[in-house]
Amino acid sequence: MHHGKYRFVLSLLLIPLGLYAVFVVSPYVQAFPIAFTDWEGLSADYHYIGFGNFVTLFHDSVFWVALRHNLFLLVSLPVIIVTLSLFFSAMLNYRGGVPGAKFYKVVYFFPSVLSIAVVGVLWQFIFEPRNGLLNGFLRAIGLDGLAQLWLGDGKTALGSIMAVVVWGGVGFYVVLFTAAMAAIPRELYEAALLDGAGAFQSFWRLTLPLIWNTVQVALAFQVIGALDLFALVKILSVGPGGPDDATQVISLYMYTNAFTYGKFGYASAIGVTLFAINMILTLLTFRLTRRERVEY
Amino acid sequence: MDPARIDAAPAPAVPDPPTGRTVGSRVLGGTSQGFVLVWGAMVLFPLLWAVLSSFKSDADIFKSPWSLPSVWHWDNFSRAWSESHIGTYFFNSVIVVCGGVLLTLLLSSAVAYVLARFEFPGSRVLYYVFVGGMVFPGFMALVPLFFVVQNLGLLNTYLGLILVYATHGMSFSVFFLTAFFRTQSKELAEAALVDGCSQWGVLFRIMLPLARPGLVSIGIFQFLGMWNEYLLPLVLNTDESRYLVTQGLANIAVTQGYHSDFSGLFAGLTISILPVLAVYLAFHRQISTGMTAGALK
């Protein structure tokens, strides 16, 4: 009986575990030794150079610019997206839902199912300075002065890309938060109303604490997301990463080093550094947002 | 959220707080409609604009971006489909994504079933090995992954992409399906075993059929994720005839974005939006619960 069980378990696990080890675990493990080599190009010839790549990285100004952008996005994007999503969720749920709340949720969520590449190409047209939708709209309502180069100008490029991330991201979290809000028993709201709580108060004192767990998960998702942003920057920005590294992010810098310059050792060192940063940030997010879990 | 009930009823209507009496709530009532309307328009407008533009001539797009097409140019679509090879890219995407989804479901349900139903030395460690993969963005190990695939001779092949997609989809699927299998009754499986059913019989004739709602949710989730993947094919799939839709579209936009054929590009964009839109409108409830369920768990 027991023998049969173990043979069954083993035969089910063998192939999935083997494939997972080859394509997921082994690349992560190999990234570490490669990060300590000077491997360049496709020759098999390389040397271990200790922490050489990390020293170079420490003095690499582009890396610091990219890291600064990532950290900036990491703080600002979650704040903007979560605030907007909470706001819209509360609005959609207000008094049992504004008319057409279901329709709005369907519309809001749609960008989440679009390919990030499609979103990128679409917004490239929107930002296009001469014939794009955005400048066309601004000129149509008489705000010619506000028309910009958007992606072509270092001052507005990163902000423009952020706007696209927000545009595509809010719907997902609206659906997430409204689902969490729907699980709150309505008696609580009635009690709050009897106690004289207004709409703002019952949101701050009741809704938010009760869905805090979900908000925390949303924040953690976005920390992971904000370290990536590869596809949008690659497709939307000039260069990509430009103008003048104004939109450079770590994932793009790593990609360029590896697959444009062939500096595999150096790119791996960037990957390992990022791995460490990601670990710290994920732990930090959970620590910072930890609160007593409220049961209801 | 209980994953077994993912496909169950739509979210119950949100508490409708009784009629508000304060001034604040009345103001909120009025403005809330306004705000949600504005955001809805901001989401819809760019998409509508893209779809409308795909039917126009280049001159029309520039002269009157807001009007309906004066002549409906269906030829934009045939041009995008054949001359810009969107058709080929579409075909490639379908093969790779369907293969990836089926394989990841197969692999993950085997692992999840074992982890949910059997205790054995190392089973917890194994669970964390699989689930741990969710915490890291895939591109961190991009360089070694490229060489793993290259050494296996799988660069620029459907099989290579399918294997990479399927294995990278496993972390989340195992996490989700393990929770799902845990909610299923042990008694049913044990009763079947007593009646002389083999372990394989229990898995294929009882547990997997019962797990269908969970498999469908995770399948939809993985389908969208893989259909939208951009970085992996960019690195592992550089042969232009094997491009996927995402790559092909981005490539056309980057290389001839400011070239003359704007309408063809919009048509290509529309071709890649419409199937997703159709699937989404048909299954929007399952898709949004499926996609957000992982986060609510």
pLDDT at B17: 46
Per the CATH hierarchy, to which homologous superfamily does domain B84-256 belong?
MetI-like (1.10.3720.10)
pLDDT at B4: 40
pLDDT at B101: 94
- pLDDT of B5 > 50? The answer is no
Average pLDDT of the residues in B203-221: 82
ipTM for the complex?
Answer: 0.81
A60, part of any domain: yes
Q: Is B196 left (phi over 0), alpha (psi -120 to 50) or beta?
A: left
Distances (CA, A) of A176 to A88, A100, A210, B11: 12, 18, 14, 11
Average pLDDT of the residues in A18-45: 84
A225, part of any domain: yes
Q: Which residue of A has its CA nearest to B168?
A: A24
One domain for residues A29 and A158 = no
> Does A12 touch chain B if contact means CB atoms closer than 8 Å?
yes
pLDDT at B98: 93
Tokens of B220: 């939809």
Confidence of residue B28 (pLDDT cuts 50, 70, 90): low
A296, part of any domain: no
CB contact residues (below 8 A), chain A span 140-199, against chain B: 140, 167, 170-172, 175-176, 178-186, 188-190, 193, 198-199
One domain for residues A15 and A150 = no
- Name which of A127, A157, A138 is nearest A239 in CA terms: A157
One domain for residues A189 and A46 = yes
- Name which of B183, B215, B228 is nearest B286 in CA terms: B215
One domain for residues A109 and A128 = yes
Confidence of residue B13 (pLDDT cuts 50, 70, 90): very low
Tokens of B11: 């979210």
Tokens of A247: 């939109």
Cβ separation A98–B50 shorter than 8 A: no
- pLDDT of A184 > 90? The answer is no
Tokens of A38: 């000077």
User: Which DSSP state fits A292?
Assistant: P
pLDDT at A96: 64
pLDDT at A214: 82
pLDDT digits (tens, 9 = 90+) for B253-296: 777 655 567 788 888 888 888 877 887 888 777 777 766 665 55
A112, part of any domain: yes
Q: Where are the alpha helices (DSSP H) in B54-85?
A: 58-63, 75-78
What's the rounded Cα separation, in Å, for the pair B57 and B61?
Answer: 6
Q: What is the largest CA-CA distance in chain A?
A: 81
One domain for residues A21 and A105 = no
Span of A276-280, B118-122, B288-292, B293-297 with lowest mean pLDDT: B293-297
pLDDT at A40: 80
Cβ separation B44–A258 shorter than 8 A: no
A127, part of any domain: yes
Tokens of B7: 């496909």
What's the rounded Cα separation, in Å, for the pair B71 and B57?
Answer: 8
Provide the β-strand partners of residue A48: A37
Backbone angles phi, psi at B14, to 5 degrees: -70, 150
Span of A26-30, A87-91, B42-46, B274-278 with lowest mean pLDDT: B274-278
| Most confident among A129-138, B64-73, B154-163 (mean pLDDT) | B154-163
One domain for residues A115 and A71 = yes
One domain for residues A11 and A148 = no
User: Which residue from B18, B62, B108 is facing A131, i.e. has the nearest CB?
Assistant: B62
What's the rounded Cα separation, in Å, for the pair B24 and A201?
Answer: 11
User: Which DSSP state fits B138?
Assistant: G
Residue found by looking up tokens 């990022």 in the block: A274
Q: How far is CA B88 from the centre of its chain?
A: 21
pLDDT at B20: 44
One domain for residues A11 and A77 = no
One domain for residues A166 and A205 = yes
- Name which of B64, B65, B84, B62 is nearest B75 in CA terms: B84
Calculate the average pLDDT of chain A: 82
A294, part of any domain: no
The residues spanned by each domain of chain B are: 19-77, 84-256
Cβ separation A176–B50 shorter than 8 A: no
What's the rounded Cα separation, in Å, for the pair A167 and B41?
Answer: 11
Distant-in-sequence, close-in-space partners of B69: CB < 8 Å, separation ≥ 6: B52, B55, B56, B57, B60
Distances (CA, A) of B65 to A18, B199, B254: 54, 63, 22
Provide the β-strand partners of residue A37: A48
Amino acid at B65: P
Domain that includes residue A161, residue range? 36-288
To test the contact with chain A by mutation, choose from B2, B36, B157, B231 the residue with the greatest count of A C-beta atoms within 10 A, namely B36
- pLDDT of A239 > 80? The answer is no
Q: Are A40 and A262 in contact (CB under 8 A)?
A: yes
SS3 A260: coil
A8, part of any domain: yes
Question: Count of domains in chain A?
Answer: 2
Tokens of A202: 């019952």
pLDDT at B295: 54
What's the rounded Cα separation, in Å, for the pair A87 and A275?
Answer: 33
A192, part of any domain: yes
pLDDT at A35: 82
pLDDT at B164: 94
One domain for residues A5 and A127 = no
Average pLDDT of the residues in B104-130: 89
Query: How near does any CA of chain A get to the CA of B158, in Å?
Result: 15
More confident residue, A180 or B127: B127
pLDDT at A167: 93
- pLDDT of B158 > 80? The answer is yes
SS3 A27: helix
SS3 A37: strand
One domain for residues A21 and A50 = no
To test the contact with chain A by mutation, choose from B142, B143, B155 the residue with the greatest count of A C-beta atoms within 10 A, namely B143
One domain for residues A60 and A17 = no
Tell me, what CATH number does A93's domain have? 1.10.3720.10
Cβ separation A15–B107 shorter than 8 A: yes
Tokens of B58: 């280049």
Tokens of A188: 């609580």
Cβ separation A114–B228 shorter than 8 A: yes
Compute how many other C-beta atoms are within 10 angstroms of the C-beta atom of residue B133: 21
Distant-in-sequence, close-in-space partners of A153: CB < 8 Å, separation ≥ 6: A243
* Residues in chain B within 8 Å Cβ distance of A181: 14
User: Which residue from B24, B111, B287 is facing A13, i.e. has the nearest CB?
Assistant: B111
User: Which DSSP state fits A99?
Assistant: T
What's the rounded Cα separation, in Å, for the pair A142 and A157?
Answer: 23
